[in-house]
Amino acid sequence: MNTIIEHLTGLHTLTDDVIAMDFLMNAKSGVRNYAMAVTECATPEIKQTIPTIFQSKFSSI
């Protein structure tokens, strides 16, 4: 995060709240990107492959 923004928002110290918010923002971004990839697929085969890759990638979490 930009240093100026960190000081203006009071987030210049790394707290549990900041870590949780960062994690949730990244997770939301990942899901959005995944959804966009699935909806923009050119063929049904690719559309079926993406969820398989997604599940195998995140099944260990």
Rounded CA-CA distance 47/43 in Å is 6
What contacts 38, CB < 8 A, 6 or more positions away? 47, 50, 51
31-61 residue pLDDT tens: 898 888 888 888 889 888 888 887 887 776 6
* Structural contact between residues 17 and 10, judged by C-beta atoms closer than 8 angstroms: no
Total-model pTM: 0.54
The pLDDT of residue 24: 93
Residue 1: pLDDT over 60: no
2-34 residue pLDDT tens: 777 777 777 666 678 878 888 999 989 988 988
In total, the chain counts a number of residues equal to: 61
The pLDDT of residue 29: 92
